[in-house]
Structure 1
Amino acid sequence: IRNGAHTEEMPYGGEPESHFQRLIRGNQYQPVLRDHICKEMAPLVEARIANIPTRAGSDWRDLPNLAVRLSDGSYSKKLQYTHHDKKNGKSSTGALRGVCSCATGKPCDPMDRQYNTLIPWCLPHTGNRHNHWSGLYGRVEWDGFFSTTVTNPEPMGKQGRVLHPEQTRVVSVRECARSQGFPDTYRFFGGILDKHRQIGNAVP
C-alpha cells in the first residue's frame, strides 16, 4: 500500500505463508483484510521516508544531504553545516558537523535554524545530547521484532522505528494490531488515529 492508503477493506494478497498468518487470519467465511490503512505523511516527511535505505538498522542518519523534489512539486533544501562541533570535531573529510552555534559551546542562535531540509535540522542540532536520536525514521526489520506499539506512529516520535521495511509509509493500523496479537477479525472503530489509539492503549 502507499502513503495515506485509506481503503478499509481489501482482499488478501494470497494464501497464508506462515503459521502466524494462518492463525491471525482466523476462520473467516469470506476472507477480507480490514484496516490495512496508514497515516498520510506530509510531502517532506514522505520524501524522507523514501530516502531511508531498506537495509536493517537504517534510520535518519542514513538520509542523503540533498535538495529533492517533493510530491507537491516544491523542493526541499540541503542542510548547511555551519559550525565547528566541539564534541565530535570535523568529519573524516574535514567538513564541519555543527548546525547551530551551540555546537561550539555558545548559546543557541535562533538565526541558525533551518527549515524544509531533507535531514531534519533539529536532529543533528540536539543529537549529541540524545544518543544521536538513534532509531528515529527507522524501519521495522523483516527478521527483527516490532518495538513498542504506540498510539500514534510518528517517524519523529519517542518510538520512531515505525516505517515499513520496504515501502514509503508508516506501519498500517492492521500491522500494529497484529503486533499486539489482535486477530484480523477484530474490528476497530472511528478515524485512523482513533484506531491507532485503541491498539496502542491495549494490553497484549
Structure 2
Amino acid sequence: MPTVVDLFCGAGGLSCGFERAGFAVLAGCDVDRTFGETFVNNHDGARFFHGPVSQFRDGVLLRELDLRPGELDVLAGGPPCQAYSVYNHSRGMADPRSRLFEDYLRIVKDLKPKWLVMENVTGILSIEKGQLVERIKQAIRDIGYRQVEHFVLKAEKYGVPQERRRVVFIANRINQPVSEPAPTCRGADEFVNIWDAIGDLPPMHPDSRVDEAVPYACEPMTEFQLEMRGNRTLVRSHKSPRLGKINQERLKYIPEGGSWRNIPFDLLPAGMKKAKRSDHTKRYGRPKKTDLSCTILTKCDIHWGAYIHPIQNRPFSVREAARIQSFPDSFVFSGSMTEQFVQIGNAVPPRLAFALATHILPTLATESIAA
C-alpha cells in the first residue's frame, strides 16, 4: 500500500483524500494538540507528532517511523499561509512564518519521498513579483526533485461545492512528468452546488447548541450526499453559531441571493451605514441553493461573508461547513465549536486531495529513482 506523511496536517483534509484514494497515512505533524486529536481519531493507525516542524528534521521522522530515505511515497502538507495571504499587508519573506518553507524542505531532504505535494494560498504568487515561487521551485530542484511544477487549482472543478483557489506545488524524484490533475467536473453544469451538498441535513433552530447525533431530513438526493453519508443514519456536529437578537432580526430581510443591501437602513451595523452599495458584496450574504459557496474560512461569520443558510435564518452549521469542504459525515472534529470551524476552514478539501492522490498513484507502480 502506498504511504503518505502529512506535515502541517491540521485536522487532516489532505490525509482524508489520500486515504480514500488507497494510501496508508503514516503520520501527521502540527503545533495544535486539538488538531492532533482530530487527526488521530479519523486516521486509524496514524501517529501524530506535536510541535513545530523544525523539531522533526535531522532524521527524526525517519527514526520515529522506521523508514529509510526514499521509502516514503508522498510527503504532503500546507505550511501556514498567513505570511503569504493577500489579507496580510506585511506579507513576504521578512515574516518569520515564511521560514517554515525552509524547515519543510529540510524534512524533504531527510525523507527523500518519491513525491512532494505542497499547498498554499494564491497570495504567494504576487510576492516579489512572482520570484518567490520560482525560488521555492529551484530550492526543490536543488535537493533532487528535477520534476517540479505549480498549479492554481479551483476546488469546484474537483467536486467541492465552493469557490476556492489554492496553489499546489507538485514534484517528484522518480523521473515522472508533473501535470495538473484532470478536473472531475467538465463544466459549470456539473459543479456541486450548496443544496446538492447540504439539502438533506435537518432544519435547526438558530439557538440550538445540541451536539447529539440527529436523523437526516430525508434520503440522500444527490451523489455527493450519498458519498458524504456512507452508511450513516444519524449526523453529528450539526450545530450553528448563536446570533444576537439584532442579527436575528437582520436575517429576516435577506432573501436567497441577497445581502446586507436588503437590510433596512436603521438595522444596519453603524459602519455599514456609511458603505457604498457596491462595497462588501458578500457581507450578510444568503446564497441561493443553486450557488457555489464562497470560500469556507475559519469561521462562518455572517458579517464577513455569504454564510447564511439559504432558507433558514442562521449561519452554516459545523457539519454544513464540513460538507462544503467535502469532509464525510463520519469525520469527527475535536474541540470547541470555534476550534472545529478553524480546523474545517484551514483544511485542504478532501475531494481536492483525492484528485491529487489519484493523479499520483499510477506512477508509483512504475517508479524509477533518478540518479
Helix, strand or coil at the partner of 2:251: helix
* Runs of 4+ off more than 2 Å: none
Residue aligning to 2:276? 127
Residue aligning to 2:82? none
Of 27, 31, 42, the residue aligned with 2:231 is 27
Q: Is the 8 A contact 1:123 1:132 kept in 2?
A: no
Helix, strand or coil at the partner of 2:276: helix
Of 140, 145, 152, the residue aligned with 2:299 is 152
Whose helix proportion is higher, 1 or 2?
Answer: 2
Residue aligning to 1:47? 249
Q: How far apart, in 1, do the equivalents of 2:309 and 2:343 lie?
A: 20
Q: How far apart, in 2, do the equivalents of 1:154 and 1:4 lie?
A: 15
After the TM superposition, which residues 171-182 of structure 1 pair with which residues of structure 2 at under 5 Å, given as runs? Answer: 171-182=316-327
Alpha-carbon offset, residue 132 of structure 1: 2.1
Q: How far apart, in 2, do the equivalents of 1:188 and 1:125 lie?
A: 39
Letter in 2 for 1:150: L
Larger radius of gyration: 2
Whose strand proportion is higher, 1 or 2?
Answer: 2
In structure 1, the gaps of 5 or more residues are 66-78, 80-117
After the TM superposition, which residues 48-197 of structure 1 pair with which residues of structure 2 at under 5 Å, given as runs? Answer: 48-54=250-256, 56=257, 58-65=258-265, 79=266, 118-127=267-276, 131-157=278-304, 160-197=305-342
Q: How far apart, in 2, do the equivalents of 1:146 and 1:53 lie?
A: 16
Helix, strand or coil at the partner of 2:340: helix
Letter in 1 for 2:242: E
Q: Is the 8 A contact 1:124 1:132 kept in 2?
A: no
Of 215, 223, 231, the residue aligned with 1:11 is 215
Alpha-carbon offset, residue 126 of structure 1: 3.6
Q: How far apart, in 1, do the equivalents of 2:287 and 2:254 lie?
A: 12
The alignment-based identity, stated in percent, is 33
- Identify the structure with bigger relative contact order (alpha carbons < 8 Å, sequence gap 6+): 1
Q: Is the 8 A contact 1:140 1:163 kept in 2?
A: yes
Alpha-carbon RMSD across the aligned residues, in angstroms, is 1.4
TM-score w.r.t. length of structure 2: 0.38
Q: How far apart, in 2, do the equivalents of 1:7 and 1:32 lie?
A: 14
- CA deviation profile, 1:1-59 (whole Å, cap 9, x unmatched): 1213222211111211111111110123xx211111000011111111122123x2x10
Residue aligning to 2:361? none
Letter in 1 for 2:295: T
Helix, strand or coil at the partner of 1:174: helix
In structure 2, the gaps of 5 or more residues are 1-203, 350-371
Letter in 2 for 1:6: R
Whether 1:38 aligns to 2:240 is yes
